Structure 1
Amino acid sequence: MTAASSELLTVPEVMTRLKLGRTKVYDLIRTRRLVSIKVDGCRRIPTSAVRAFIQAQMGDAA
């Protein structure tokens, strides 16, 4: 695993990358469509999870 693939993003960073609102990002996390972890009570999303989500969406659209 490279440093870039293991980078952890905050919810606002994911909102910016996916161009989605806060509620939608938390909905994706709640429904397990976007993998996340908690670090001392703070929600973090691995960049690899964001990439996997995008790939899954592209597959669904095809």
Structure 2
Amino acid sequence: MDLHKVAFKSSTEMFDTSSGTGRMLTFAQRERKMIGECVFESTLKKVETGGRPGTYPAIPT
């Protein structure tokens, strides 16, 4: 977007890529969403395989 001097501003959301801060926040929001999806998918997989979500594996003694 910088190459073509284009910026995006949303009139209904807090979304503005015309500044460095706006670009950073956009990236952070995307990363947060991706992390949330990964955590949800791994929790779902753990439950489907009979595990309990939010627990650590047993340490062998």
Q: TM-score range by the shorter chain?
A: 0.3 to 0.5
Normalized per residue, the structure richer in helix is: 1
The structure whose RCO (Cα within 8 Å, separation 6+) is larger is 1
> Which structure's CA Rg is the greater one?
2
With the length of structure 1 as denominator, give the TM-score of the two structures. 0.36
With the length of structure 2 as denominator, give the TM-score of the two structures. 0.37
Normalized per residue, the structure richer in strand is: 1
